[in-house]
Structure 1
């Protein structure tokens, strides 16, 4: 049944199956994200004043110091006692598994992410929950794909579905979730994946709205640019946020470098201590900080406090994430951008009577600019702005600020996507050629030659004649779990003509050009097949179903020429 399902997945109706699985992965990811959020908020409401999950400011100063420190120590001790391969978490972990492990995300890492991030956020660390949500959503899609024994290319699509579902459920922004999955995590736009990814984002958004309502993540005030005379201030905001994004990038890089070679529990405890010291003086940096974002949008915070929050939040979040606290950085970047935007908007209103837009307008633009510059994902940031505000008037100033911030950060200060930087510090390389990206989307089941016969090494004349009547392209024999011999049927035909009709024909002994083939699983992509051919210097591959230990059938044969047909230009007609 699994083999038939996989065969249908590479057929003409595969999109129907992927669409259905996209909905399932979205529902599953949405439920996981809801459980994650409910766990965090229920614990926060049990000990914070007024049952407000954001009210860390009401804690005594010594609680603000000890809570993150104790949380960091607890996280470090638990992670230290866990196997090293289970400690890798977050968006970078998802990108690593996509690039190097065929989109197979282990459940153990997701469990560590779930509880590790919950402890970090509850204890007031300056981290967000969206990054962990991406990991949890991606794992939901991956485990669904593994359970159904889908191809690796289909597994990548379901991981993208989980990522989109996570962002959609976290911010109530389904379209931004789709673009984020393509632009930030997959780093490619695949038209065949859009339908299942969109359905996953919609499904997760519905689940989130059932539990939390359809209100946006932030209290967004009316949004409209007062006049075209404010364009210079919007441009200035983009330039300033680009500088802040570069500062955040290099601070995080510094703390990540400091962390190398130190015991994990020491790193997370130090991170907690640094966050605690910052929180003693600026308690607004604790936790996710959505209450501070709302305060900035409503103009409730002074310029000096806003600028102080920006600087301290950059340091605290960089320290927490760089030293190994399993949290996210998307939420903190939004808070930093909102405070920077609100400060500049208030300052512009003081200096120029032409500025009539609210501080909340500039705060929202600053959020998009900071997100776009930090992640180097301008389209995802712009779509997020549009969905969060539900106001098309945000598009023009948002585009200007996001593009200018991204250009300043990348071209002036030499930054890249912050996830790419963190991955490269782990020794990972995400640079793929367009050919590799194209081949990764095609299953070996689609590229292989199916006209093969799996036969015994020794054949009688009648059996050999029957095989040749089927007109196969290849004969496969001496097959085990890893290797097989492959023979062209023409060689068998010549031997059969020369035989006297008696005795057995030994395919390994007759004069022929035999090739040694290596086994590859039916779920693999053509990129994996090409890599295996070149690394092992094999002449060809034979495709089997390794998910079924009792099945030793050869499904097809694959050569490098077969793979090249999927990316080379056809020869021009003379």
Structure 2
């Protein structure tokens, strides 16, 4: 019956009270959809500025450390001025290891909570300090050339700022979760110059659902983030794939076949990351030194092709712009997949968002070669297959079918191609869900012992624990109590049930008071031992409502005792099934009202 407990949400410190906004502004935002939308615009704008700042800092590190020309992308470099520069990731690994060592010295045992986990378990509460730590780690990793994207830093800091603003406004649980989604929406929208992509990233991956109540603030934040990015950097973040070409009804089967291949490769990449982590763990190399070791392996891969370094923006543009040979594409596909797995598996901080797009575009280009042999002039263009491949691969690893569909729409402005991509991402999503069951984020939660499958709010179920719902004013009696004594102490109508304990005050079972007054009882000097029920059924304080409900069904009892531990069985209280179901129904209704946008 033991249950792994998730990290506690970041606590509200004493300083939070001083950082709250004046009450009249809190009332405006808490009770007015327009006020919430204005806060969302502020959050989206801040997220857009932060995306620009983090991206510029990473690019500045690339230019400085790898001696690039201004504006040149690391993964698009043909080579390096000095061959020894391929070892820069190892230096970054040493620096990141120092950060990990300092964090360990602080005895930081609580895991860093990302936006998905915050919304799933903690009602949107995130630590801004933790978010800054993630940004620092991600910036070191990407800036020194590790094969990870910056999207983790973007969404973490955007959502962290949003959560902090929500705490200042004392937002309700549902609104807090929405604001965290707004932070992520503004960040992704700014990062890809794509407001619809950012909005549906928030709906599908951060909030976990779409509703009318969340539509206005999330879209407002995404638009704000995009407009801020366009204002300062123009279309620098836009992925240009050129002219994909026409699409016909007969092109759908080949696109779906490509999507299924992408799903298989996506699953393989996720499992490779896990196996790499296990390999580094078994190597007994100290945790702070693992990123440096991973950096040395990356150096070897970079000697084969520099396109494995960083997130892959420059390499993706090269993939679309140049007519690469099959040998080059195969080398890029294998090397980039391995580099991403080694980077994350060795301890570099970052995500696989852009890496999945890059890998999918390479797979699509390879599939285009096969399609040309099979269909000749009737085959889709390589750019179209690359677009389908990148969308399907991203869905397989990251999730969010509509997110990737809208990314394709905003990249091309072509509805027929968008419909083709939609069919492909649905096929890829279904394949992964039925064969593997996780995205990359939820797969890592699963490995940690968490049962999170999405950002749907399940934290309230965990908070609705037996320990919080139980009654402590229970009636008890020793196991050796005689029936005549029991009747004298517990007359009919005084209570419905009595918890029976042994001489060490450990739980034995429950006696229903009416059973002690049965006409079939002849010997009143006998003890109550023969009347004891539910000897093997006990609740634990940390059990949530669902677990307790299953135990009630198994015991077929209207009430069960709560004990501290299955071994010591010290009785702490009593919980009735009727109270459990009532509280569960109340919380379900509260979640329904939040989803519908009802505040009263």
Q: TM-score, structure 1 length as denominator?
A: 0.72
Deviation at 1:27, TM superposition (A): 1.1
**Aligned equivalents of 1:433, 1:419: Cα separation in 2:** 10
Task: Deviation per CA, 1:330-350: give whole Å up to 9, x if none.
Answer: 010000000110121133224
Unaligned runs of 5+ in 1: 441-525, 528-533, 540-557, 570-574
- Please say if 1:218 is aligned against 2:239: yes
Distance 1:100 1:562, change over 3 A: closer
- Please say if 1:32 is aligned against 2:50: yes
Match of 2:519 in 1: none
Deviation at 1:183, TM superposition (A): 0.9
- Please say if 1:290 is aligned against 2:313: yes
Match of 1:49 in 2: 68
Distance 1:235 1:184, change over 3 A: same
Distance 1:86 1:281, change over 3 A: farther
2:334 paired residue among 311, 322, 334: 311
Q: Is the 8 A contact 1:48 1:58 kept in 2?
A: no
Distance 1:424 1:217, change over 3 A: same
Q: Is the 8 A contact 2:120 2:459 kept in 1?
A: no
**Aligned equivalents of 1:337, 1:415: Cα separation in 2:** 20
**Aligned equivalents of 2:132, 2:300: Cα separation in 1:** 29
Deviation at 1:352, TM superposition (A): 3.1
Runs (4+) off by over 6 Å:
432-435, 437-440, 534-539
For residues 363-378 of structure 1, the aligned pairs below 5 Å read 363-378=386-401
**Aligned equivalents of 2:195, 2:427: Cα separation in 1:** 26
Deviation at 1:273, TM superposition (A): 1.7
Q: CA RMSD in A?
A: 3.4
Deviation at 1:202, TM superposition (A): 0.6
Deviation at 1:422, TM superposition (A): 0.9
Match of 1:511 in 2: none
Match of 1:357 in 2: 380
Q: TM-score, structure 2 length as denominator?
A: 0.69
Match of 1:206 in 2: 227
Deviation at 1:180, TM superposition (A): 0.9
Distance 1:87 1:342, change over 3 A: farther
- Please say if 1:408 is aligned against 2:431: yes
Q: Is the 8 A contact 2:120 2:456 kept in 1?
A: no
Q: Is the 8 A contact 2:121 2:460 kept in 1?
A: no
Match of 2:302 in 1: 279
Deviation at 1:42, TM superposition (A): 2.4
**Aligned equivalents of 2:455, 2:47: Cα separation in 1:** 31
Match of 2:441 in 1: 419
Say which SS state the counterpart of residue 400 (structure 1) adopts.
helix
Match of 2:209 in 1: 188
Match of 2:369 in 1: 346
Deviation at 1:303, TM superposition (A): 1.7
Deviation at 1:281, TM superposition (A): 1.0
Say which SS state the counterpart of residue 57 (structure 1) adopts.
coil
Match of 1:493 in 2: none
Deviation at 1:225, TM superposition (A): 3.5
1:177 paired residue among 190, 194, 198: 198
**Aligned equivalents of 2:322, 2:202: Cα separation in 1:** 33
Number of equivalenced pairs: 459
Deviation at 1:358, TM superposition (A): 2.3
**Aligned equivalents of 2:299, 2:451: Cα separation in 1:** 35
**Aligned equivalents of 2:58, 2:278: Cα separation in 1:** 30
Task: Deviation per CA, 1:424-452: give whole Å up to 9, x if none.
Answer: 22233326998958999xxxxxxxxxxxx
Unaligned runs of 5+ in 2: 1-20, 463-544, 547-561, 565-571, 591-600
Deviation at 1:282, TM superposition (A): 2.1
Q: Is the 8 A contact 1:105 1:143 kept in 2?
A: yes
Deviation at 1:181, TM superposition (A): 1.1
**Aligned equivalents of 1:386, 1:44: Cα separation in 2:** 31
For residues 136-151 of structure 1, the aligned pairs below 5 Å read 136-151=157-172
